[in-house]
């Protein structure tokens, strides 16, 4: 038996049945006790009540699940195909990679309040918006790890391909595709719950059936059993999809990751680096504006609700009341940033911390994994009232909800990253009888860094999205509340200004993480900086 197969890198692999059963019992017991403790508050139904509800309403639930899952699956496939296509484009035109990633980010962080109604107008009645929103929810979290994975191969392998006189095509098939597989599957695993959630939220734009529709009805009807039965169904489905993709990924992945050992990149003069950065920003901004200008025209959207860059420029800068508009938006932006930043940092720490804890104590995974996937796949609309009751409507409650949203992609990406510790290096550690902690600190954490930073970048829009949802549902402040209000009052100037702010906020956060990443990775994972 190889040492690598023995390593804690196998977190999530087959475990003794007894341990899984213990984990499940712990989860269900905790859930049931919490529900009993909160009885009468109309906030949480326990597993027995949920089971009874599901049994009594099996046909209704089955039809809703089929509807939502079909849309989620279609969105999952389309979104991930788009991610692969974008990654391929970035490989063919390496100079365009950063611009592609930046534009992909901007599209990813467009708030639902703005895009939902437009998708409904574009697609008309039916499942179009549900599928589109599911696809939009997944493509970015697949693209980012994929771009990392396509570079996560030893330089010597590329030399080998070149020495056979083969070109970039062969390198792609024999080297990059293999090295990207684990990263691709990390992306797909993150995407599975996101697709289900995206399809459910898509139903909020006006649908006749599906789990999202039932969830809205149940919450209004104070039907706690139905609310949590739907949440349970979404969570169980997500966990199943997550586990299936994980198993598939392990079956396809190479046995032990190779040592990458890339030379540090030639350092550029600081002046040139800033120049590059400025050019990049200008290109991305111009492309984003062109896309924004062209989309309403291409789709034939009415200018009443589809505002263009010129409209927003007038609204914020040249038009009547521009100063007042800027003041309103500035205040909202301040409130949003105040909650988003601590929640983001807490979520990152929690995600990376839990992934490392699981390496040290793999038994924890039986409890932690299902809870982690469930937290991500249960609609925040369902969990937010519970978290608000427990944590309050103040800074703590908001921060916790943001952290929950950020935590999951970070956790999954780090878990995969930790498995990228080179087999040879771990063999060395074993021959010195190094403990788990030493292996973690010296081998696995450095190997995890590219994945961690990819997650940290992906988590920026997730944090902004989470904070705006909480503001809309619980605190009534900030950009989230302003967007909901302006949508209901047909104040599309304010709404689109908020969209721009959210996009800019996300892009700046993403760039800041990217800058930190380059400094760290130039030491620990220089292959990621190769151009």
Partner 1 sequence: MIRRPMTRRGVLAAGGAALALPALPRLARAQSPVTLQLSWLHSVQFAGSYIAQERGLWADAGLDVSLNPGGPNAPVEPPVISGDALVGISAADYTAAAVEQGAPFKILMVAMQKNPFVIASLPGNPVDAPADLQGKRLGMALANRPVLEALCTLNDVDIDAIEMVPTQYSAAPLLNGEVDCLLCWETDLPVAMAIQGVESRTMLMADFDYSVHSQTYIATEDSIANRRDELVALLRGEVQGWDAYRADTDAAAALTVETFPDLGLDLETQELQAQRQVPLMFSDLTEANGFGWWTDDTVAANVETLALLGRSVTPDLWDRSILEEVHAG
Identify residues 63-82 at the interface with partner 1 (CB under 8 A).
63-64, 67, 74, 78
**Near partner 1 in 318-357, by CB under 8 A:** none
How far apart are alpha carbons 84 and 89 in whole angstroms?
9
- Minimum Å distance from CB 417 to partner 1? 35
Q: Which of 131, 352, 440, 513 is in the footprint of partner 1 by CB under 8 A?
A: 131
Q: Which of 104, 150, 207, 511 is in the footprint of partner 1 by CB under 8 A?
A: 207
- Quick note: the x/- pattern for partner 1 over 371-400, rule CB under 8 A, is ----------x--xx---x---x-------
Q: Which stretch binds partner 1 (CB under 8 A): 209-217, 262-270, 319-327, 404-412?
A: 209-217
- Minimum Å distance from CB 286 to partner 1? 23
Alpha carbon 93 to chain centroid distance? Answer: 25
Angstrom CA distances, 264 to 25, 241, 509, stand at 49, 39, 26
Helices (H) and strands (E) in the chain, counts: 23, 0
Q: Does residue 518 interact with partner 1 by CB under 8 A?
A: no
Query: Is 90 or 195 the residue whose CB approaches partner 1 more closely?
Result: 195
Query: Is 206 or 254 the residue whose CB approaches partner 1 more closely?
Result: 206
Per DSSP, the residues of 351-403 read HHHHHHHHHH-GGGHHHHHHHHHHHHHS-HHHHHHHHHHHH-SSHHHHHHHHH
Q: Which of 1, 95, 159, 220 is in the footprint of partner 1 by CB under 8 A?
A: 220
- Quick note: the x/- pattern for partner 1 over 226-265, rule CB under 8 A, is x---------------------------------------
Query: Is 97 or 203 the residue whose CB approaches partner 1 more closely?
Result: 203
Q: Which of 87, 118, 241, 346 is in the footprint of partner 1 by CB under 8 A?
A: 118
- Give the tokens for residue 262: 């890339």
Alpha carbon 145 to chain centroid distance? Answer: 11
- Minimum Å distance from CB 481 to partner 1? 6
- Minimum Å distance from CB 129 to partner 1? 9
Total residues binding partner 1 (CB under 8 A): 74
How far apart are alpha carbons 423 and 441 in whole angstroms?
15
Q: Which stretch binds partner 1 (CB under 8 A): 254-262, 323-331, 439-447, 486-494?
A: 486-494
Query: Is 221 or 508 the residue whose CB approaches partner 1 more closely?
Result: 221
Q: Does residue 83 interact with partner 1 by CB under 8 A?
A: no
Per DSSP, the residues of 127-178 read SHHHHHHHHHHHHHHHHHHHHHHTT-S-HHHHHHHHHTT--HHHHIIIIIHH
Contact 457, 513 (CB under 8 A): yes
Q: Which of 217, 277, 293, 424 is in the footprint of partner 1 by CB under 8 A?
A: 217
**Near partner 1 in 32-51, by CB under 8 A:** 40-43
CB count, 10 Å around CB of 34? 14
Q: Does residue 110 interact with partner 1 by CB under 8 A?
A: no
- Minimum Å distance from CB 336 to partner 1? 15
Query: Is 169 or 300 the residue whose CB approaches partner 1 more closely?
Result: 300
Query: Is 322 or 364 the residue whose CB approaches partner 1 more closely?
Result: 322
How far apart are alpha carbons 414 and 329 in whole angstroms?
36
Q: Which of 83, 190, 214, 400 is in the footprint of partner 1 by CB under 8 A?
A: 214
Q: Does residue 280 interact with partner 1 by CB under 8 A?
A: no
Q: Which residue, chain included where needed, has tokens 């599906």?
A: 210
Tell me whether residue 320 is exposed, middle or buried, using C-beta atoms within 10 angstroms of its C-beta: 0 to 12, 13 to 18, 19 or more.
exposed
Q: Does residue 492 interact with partner 1 by CB under 8 A?
A: yes
Q: Does residue 401 interact with partner 1 by CB under 8 A?
A: no
CA-based R_g, the chain, Å: 23
The contacts found for 96-99 with CB under 8 angstroms, 24 or more apart, are: 97/147, 98/280, 98/284, 99/280, 99/283, 99/284, 99/287
Contact 108, 140 (CB under 8 A): yes
How far apart are alpha carbons 409 and 141 in whole angstroms?
8
Q: Does residue 474 interact with partner 1 by CB under 8 A?
A: yes
Query: Is 217 or 268 the residue whose CB approaches partner 1 more closely?
Result: 217
Q: Which stretch binds partner 1 (CB under 8 A): 82-90, 202-210, 282-290, 400-408?
A: 202-210
Nearest one of 447, 466, 471, 453 to 524, comparing CA atoms: 447
Query: Is 201 or 412 the residue whose CB approaches partner 1 more closely?
Result: 201
CB count, 10 Å around CB of 97? 19
- Minimum Å distance from CB 65 to partner 1? 11
Q: Does residue 222 interact with partner 1 by CB under 8 A?
A: yes
- Give the tokens for residue 30: 């905790």
Q: Which of 22, 34, 84, 128 is in the footprint of partner 1 by CB under 8 A?
A: 128
Per DSSP, the residues of 487-517 read HHTT-HHHHHHHHHHHHHHHHHHHHHHHHHH
Q: Which stretch binds partner 1 (CB under 8 A): 59-67, 162-170, 408-416, 419-427?
A: 59-67
**Near partner 1 in 285-314, by CB under 8 A:** 297-302, 304-305
- Minimum Å distance from CB 341 to partner 1? 21
How far apart are alpha carbons 105 and 88 in whole angstroms?
17
With helix as H, strand as E and coil as C, how does 191-238 read?
HHHHHHHHHHHHHHHCCCCCHHHHHHHHHHCCCHHHHHHHHHHHHHHH
Nearest one of 137, 102, 100 to 457, comparing CA atoms: 102
Q: Does residue 412 interact with partner 1 by CB under 8 A?
A: no
Handedness of CA 513, 514, 519, 520 (dihedral sign): positive
- Minimum Å distance from CB 134 to partner 1? 11
């Amino acid at each position: 038996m190889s040492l690598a197969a023995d390593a804690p890198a196998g977190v999530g692999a087959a475990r003794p049945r007894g341990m899984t059963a213990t984990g499940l019992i712990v989860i269900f017991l905790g859930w049931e006790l919490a529900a009993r403790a909160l009885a009468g508050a109309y906030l949480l139904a326990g597993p027995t009540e949920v089971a009874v509800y599901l049994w009594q309403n099996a046909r209704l639930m089955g039809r809703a699940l089929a509807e939502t899952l079909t849309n989620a699956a279609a969105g999952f496939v389309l979104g991930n195909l788009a991610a692969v296509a974008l990654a391929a484009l970035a490989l063919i035109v390496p100079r365009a990679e950063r611009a592609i990633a930046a534009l992909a980010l901007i599209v990813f962080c467009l708030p639902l309040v703005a895009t939902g109604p437009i998708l409904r107008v574009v697609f008309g009645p039916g499942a179009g918006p549900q599928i589109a929103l599911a696809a939009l929810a997944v493509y970015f979290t697949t693209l980012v790890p994929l771009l990392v994975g396509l570079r996560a191969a030893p330089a010597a392998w590329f030399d080998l391909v070149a020495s056979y006189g083969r070109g970039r095509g062969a390198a792609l098939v024999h080297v990059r595709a293999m090295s990207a597989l684990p990263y691709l599957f990390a992306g797909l695993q993150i995407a599975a719950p996101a697709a289900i959630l995206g399809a459910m939220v898509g139903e909020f734009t006006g649908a006749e059936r599906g789990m999202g529709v039932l969830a809205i009805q149940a919450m209004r009807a104070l039907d706690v059993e139905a609310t949590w039965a739907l949440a349970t169904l979404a969570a169980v489905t997500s966990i199943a999809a997550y586990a299936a993709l994980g198993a598939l990924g392990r079956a396809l992945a190479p046995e032990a990751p190779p040592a990458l050992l890339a030379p540090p990149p030639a350092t550029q003069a600081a002046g040139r680096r800033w120049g590059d950065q400025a050019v990049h920003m200008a290109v991305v901004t111009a492309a984003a504006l062109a896309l924004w200008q062209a989309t309403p025209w291409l789709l034939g959207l009415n200018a009443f609700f589809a505002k263009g860059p010129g409209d927003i420029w007038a609204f914020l800068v040249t038009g009547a009341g521009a100063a007042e508009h800027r003041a309103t938006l500035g205040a909202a932006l301040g409130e949003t940033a105040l909650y988003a930043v601590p929640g983001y940092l807490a979520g990152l720490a929690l995600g990376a911390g839990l992934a490392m804890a699981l390496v040290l104590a793999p038994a924890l995974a039986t409890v932690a994994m299902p809870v982690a996937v469930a937290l991500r796949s249960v609609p925040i609309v369902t969990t937010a009232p519970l978290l608000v009751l427990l944590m309050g409507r103040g800074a703590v409650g908001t921060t916790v909800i943001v952290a929950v949203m950020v935590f999951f992609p970070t956790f999954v990406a780090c878990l995969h990253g930790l498995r990228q510790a080179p087999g040879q290096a771990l063999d060395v550690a074993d021959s010195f009888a190094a403990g788990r902690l030493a292996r973690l600190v010296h081998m696995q954490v450095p190997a995890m860094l590219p994945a961690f930073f990819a997650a940290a970048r992906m988590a920026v829009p997730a944090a902004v999205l989470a904070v705006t949802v909480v503001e809309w549902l619980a605190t009534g402040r900030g950009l989230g509340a302003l967007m909901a209000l302006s949508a209901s009052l047909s104040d599309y100037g304010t709404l689109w200004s908020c969209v721009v702010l959210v996009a800019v906020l996300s892009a700046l956060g993403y760039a800041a993480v990217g800058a930190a990443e380059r400094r760290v990775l130039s030491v620990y994972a220089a292959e990621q900086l190769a151009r």
